[in-house]
């Protein structure tokens, strides 16, 4: 007697599997990436927005050994703070602690216990009892008052540039000079929306229309940047500024992560004549390479963003050797962009 095959027909199996996965994906993405009605990713605002300064009323006075940065090596926002810390020469003044993502829990965890805490959410609750919001990095932590000074990377890098010069090895390096602030701010606004956050708007888009819009804006800006860099060594002229730092940490990750995982695959950074060389120029500035960990970047993105890489397979490439190839951009401006190098 021949038994009947009771399995579902292939077409129904595929349809059912697609329905199940799509439903689960939408639920997971709603937690990972808040969206608007058009399916566009909307990044929530940071909460802790105090500053360090010498004003008498400011509880956060500049000091060496008082402040600590909590950073994830894979995170581009946290990476900004490490780059500025390195460029200014603040390694002895401001300590760092590394966190890693726990993909199955959706939180950052400490490599070693900090302030009696095992996780970043616990640290946030230590600073603000009852806190139930997002617990992100970077965090500028005050070890004296056991509080979070700031968790907005764009503001932390300004603090690091401005407020610790008496403890810096490169105090004369000003990454946010008064005469360039308007130009820096203009670049920052454009780059944040279309590039820094733009790659996430591509990768976390939940409709085709939202993805198409984000992708078009991303590459329009990258084309504009490449054209600017055909005339200037850096975005605002001959010297590196915070605008370059903010762009660098995204384009450092671009070819390894965003190009494939986030579907930003119209063009690689290395395919741009000027932008590719500019990336190498920034990477080769004193101290910057030591802040870059491409293995951690790939591990954190490919290994932990389950909704967009459910297999968790981490690619082997690209090779780091491309970052140390000659950039030949000295001819665009002065030979030395940092003091004492």
Which residue matches tokens 């894979």?
74
Domains assigned to the chain: 67-167 (3.40.30.10), 178-332 (1.20.1050.10)
Yes or no: say if 108 and 119 are a contact pair by the CB < 8 Å rule: yes
- What confidence tens digit (pLDDT) does each residue in 95-111 have? 999 999 987 788 999 98
Determine the length of the chain: 341
Task: Identify the active-site residue in 60, 75, 215, 264.
Answer: 75
The C-alpha atoms of residue 272 and residue 268 are separated, in whole angstroms, by 7
What are the backbone angles phi and psi of residue 149, rounded to the nearest 5°? Answer: -75, -50
Q: What is the pTM of this model?
A: 0.90
- State the pLDDT at residue 341: 41
- State the pLDDT at residue 33: 59
Residue 135 clears pLDDT 90, i.e. is over it: yes
The C-alpha atoms of residue 113 and residue 126 are separated, in whole angstroms, by 13
Whether the link from the prior residue into 138 is cis, omega within 30° of 0, is: yes
Q: Is 200 annotated in the active site?
A: yes
Task: Identify the active-site residue in 131, 176, 192, 200.
Answer: 200
Q: Is 278 annotated in the active site?
A: no
Average pLDDT on 244-273 reads: 98
């Amino acid at each position: 007697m021949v038994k009947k095959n009771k399995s579902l027909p292939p077409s129904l199996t595929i349809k059912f599997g697609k329905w199940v996965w799509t439903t689960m994906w939408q639920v997971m993405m709603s937690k990972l990436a808040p969206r608007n009605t058009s399916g566009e990713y909307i990044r929530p605002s940071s909460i802790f927005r105090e500053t360090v300064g010498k004003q008498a009323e400011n509880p956060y006075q500049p000091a060496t050994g008082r402040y600590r940065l909590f950073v994830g090596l894979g995170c581009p926002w946290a990476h900004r703070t490490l780059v500025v810390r390195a460029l200014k020469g603040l390694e002895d003044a401001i300590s760092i602690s590394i966190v890693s993502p726990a993909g199955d829990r959706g939180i950052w965890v400490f490599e070693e216990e900090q302030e009696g805490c095992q996780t970043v959410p616990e640290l946030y609750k230590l600073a603000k009892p009852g806190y139930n919001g997002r617990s992100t990095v970077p965090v500028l932590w005050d070890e004296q008052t056991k509080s979070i000074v700031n968790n907005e990377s764009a503001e932390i890098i300004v603090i690091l540039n401005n407020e610790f010069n008496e403890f810096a090895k490169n105090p004369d390096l000003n990454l946010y000079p008064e005469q360039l602030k308007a130009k820096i701010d203009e670049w920052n606004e454009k780059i944040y929306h279309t590039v820094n956050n733009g790659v996430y708007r591509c990768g976390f888009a939940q409709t085709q229309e939202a993805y198409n819009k984000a992708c078009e804006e991303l590459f329009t800006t990258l084309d504009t940047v490449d054209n600017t860099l055909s005339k200037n060594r850096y975005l605002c002229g001959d010297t590196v500024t915070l605008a370059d730092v903010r762009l660098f940490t995204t384009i450092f990750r671009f070819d390894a992560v965003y190009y494939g995982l986030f579907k930003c695959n119209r063009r690689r950074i290395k395919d741009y004549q000027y932008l590719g060389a500019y990336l190498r120029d920034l990477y080769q500035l004193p101290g910057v390479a030591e802040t870059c960990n491409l293995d951690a970047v790939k591990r954190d993105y490919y290994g932990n963003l389950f909704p967009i890489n459910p297999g968790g397979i981490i690619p082997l490439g690209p090779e780091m050797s491309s970052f140390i190839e000659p950039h030949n951009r000295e001819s665009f401006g002065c030979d030395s962009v940092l003091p004492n190098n």
